[in-house]
Structure 1
C-alpha cells in the first residue's frame, strides 16, 4: 500500500509497538510483517538476522513503504546499522529504516535516580551490547546491567505467560538481574514480547523499581521524527488502514495476534525465499 509505514518484527512482538503507534498516530496507513516462519531471531547469528531483515525491508520497499520501523530488538541490534550504512543507498536513498533501540536509549537515563539501569532482553540483543553502547552515548554516567531471558518468548508465543511456569522464569531472570546490582531502579524491557509479562515482572521486582516497555516510547519517538522530517511525513498516506502479513500460517498469526495487538486481525501470507 503506497505511502504506508512499515512495521517489521520476527514474529508477534512488534504488534505491541504497532498498537502504541496507531494509538498515537492513527491517521496514517500501516503495513505489518511478521517473519513467523523464521522466528525467533533472538538466538540466530548476526549474519542470518541481517540477511532475513534485509529481505523483509526490501519487501516493504516493494510495497511502496517509504519508512520502515524494525519493531524487533534483535533486528535493531544486529541488522539496522548495516542496512542504514550499506544498503539504503542502493535500495532507495530517499527511504528510511528506523529501530526501537535508539529512541529508548535516548530517554532511559531520565528515569533513573541511581544511574543503575537493568535491561531484560533476548540472547541476541544482550550479546550485541547495543543497549550498553547506545545508552553510554546519551547518558555516560549510567551503568547498564543486562540479563538474557531465553524462556520468555517461547512461553509468550505458546500462550503460557499466565502459568506458574512463567512465574518461575520471571523470578529466575529478574533475580539474576538484581544480583548484578541491588541499586537498579529502572528496568527496560528490551524485547517487544515482554509487555505481556509486564505485570508479573513488576511483581517480581522491588516496588521502587520502574519498568519501562518500548511501545509508547517508540511511538513518541516516531511522532517527533516525523515532526522533524516533514519531507518524509508528506510522503505518508493517510486513511487509518492496517494490513497484516506473515511468512507463516495466517490462521496461527490471527490467533496469536489478538494477544499482542488487543484486537482481531486478518492477515495475508507472504512467501520470502531464504
Structure 2
C-alpha cells in the first residue's frame, strides 16, 4: 500500500455492483473509489460456497494491494457465501487493519420498516437464496417477519447480455414474480437481493399489484456506508478525498465499458485487472 493513494474498494462478480457503486458515489462523492468487476468468472450465483469464497478473497486481496483499506462486497452472492469467512478467518490473521462489508446486513437491518403485513418477498440468484442468508439475517432484527424467497436464475444472464429491455425478458420476469406471489397473498414488499435486478424494475412493477413496494439495495447500502464511516474515523481518515473513480475488470475491457455505461448512465474507461500473483 506504500505510495498508493487510498480508495474505497467496491467489488462485484460482474456489472450489478455498479448499481450500488452509483448510489454510494452519489451519496459520498468526495472519496476515491476503485470498482472491480470479476467479469471473466461471472456469474457467481451457481458456484459452490468454496469457489465463491476463493474468487471473492482473491479480488478482495487485489483491492487491498491497490490501496483499499475498506472493501464493499456489492454482490449478494459474495456477501452470502464469502463475507463471514473473510471477516472471521482472513482479516484477523492477515489484514487486521482492513475492513470488508457486505450488502445483506444493511438491508436486513431496515427491511422490516417497509412492510405492514409482516410478509416480504426476496428475489435473488440461486446462490443467495440457497444460502438462506436473508431469512437468517432478517430474523435477528425482525423475528416476526415472514420471508418468502424466489430464485431467478435467468435474470442475471438476461441483463448481462443486454436483453433486459427486450420482450425476451418479459417471460422470465413474469414467471418468477408469479412464482413468488403464489407463496403468499400477504407480500407487500419485495427486496431485489441481487444488484443486477434494478435494471428490471420497470418490468417487475408491470407484473405487480400497485400496493407492493419494490426495494433495491443501492440507497440502503450507501446510507449504511455513510453511517459506518462516521462511526469509524480510523478507516474514514485513511481514504483520499479527490473524488476519483477508477474501474477495473478481469474480463474484456470494451465489453465492460459498454455494459457499465448502461448501469451507471455515464461513459467510463476501465482498466484490465492484472492478478497479484
TM-score normalized by the length of structure 2: 0.97
For the residues of structure 2 that align with 1:193 and 1:56, how far apart are their CA atoms?
19
Among candidates 133, 139, 149, match of residue 152 of structure 2: 149
Among candidates 244, 249, 272, match of residue 246 of structure 1: 249
Map Cα deviations across residues 117-162 of structure 1 (whole Å, 9 max, x no partner): 1000000000000000000000001000000000101111111111
**Is the contact made by 2:190 and 2:215 (CA closer than 8 Å) also made in structure 1?**
yes
Shift of 1:183: 0.4
Determine the structure 2 residue equivalent to 1:39: 42
For the residues of structure 1 that align with 2:103 and 2:48, how far apart are their CA atoms?
19
For the residues of structure 2 that align with 1:209 and 1:191, how far apart are their CA atoms?
18
Shift of 1:8: 0.1
Stretches (4+) displaced over 4 A: none
Determine the structure 2 residue equivalent to 1:256: 259
1:205 maps to 2:195:
no
More displaced stretch, 23-32 vs 1-10? 1-10
Map Cα deviations across residues 83-118 of structure 1 (whole Å, 9 max, x no partner): 000000233101100000010110000000000010
**Is the contact made by 2:62 and 2:276 (CA closer than 8 Å) also made in structure 1?**
no
More displaced stretch, 156-165 vs 36-45? 156-165
For the residues of structure 2 that align with 1:63 and 1:224, how far apart are their CA atoms?
24
Among candidates 162, 171, 176, match of residue 179 of structure 2: 176
Partner-residue secondary structure (3-state), 1:106: helix
Among candidates 80, 96, 101, match of residue 98 of structure 1: 101
For the residues of structure 1 that align with 2:145 and 2:165, how far apart are their CA atoms?
33
Partner-residue secondary structure (3-state), 2:44: coil
Determine the structure 1 residue equivalent to 2:89: 86
Partner-residue secondary structure (3-state), 2:117: coil
For 1:1-274, what aligned pairs fall within 5 Å after superposition? 1-272=4-275
Segments of structure 1 that go 5 or more residues without pairing to the other structure are none
Shift of 1:273: 7.7
**Is the contact made by 1:120 and 1:148 (CA closer than 8 Å) also made in structure 2?**
yes
RMSD, matched Cα: 1.0
TM-score normalized by the length of structure 1: 0.98
For the residues of structure 1 that align with 2:14 and 2:182, how far apart are their CA atoms?
31
Map Cα deviations across residues 57-108 of structure 1 (whole Å, 9 max, x no partner): 1001101100000000000000000000000023310110000001011000
More displaced stretch, 174-183 vs 85-94? 85-94
For the residues of structure 1 that align with 2:5 and 2:149, how far apart are their CA atoms?
40
Number of positions where the alignment pairs a residue of Structure 1 with one of Structure 2: 274
Segments of structure 2 that go 5 or more residues without pairing to the other structure are none
**Is the contact made by 1:58 and 1:91 (CA closer than 8 Å) also made in structure 2?**
no
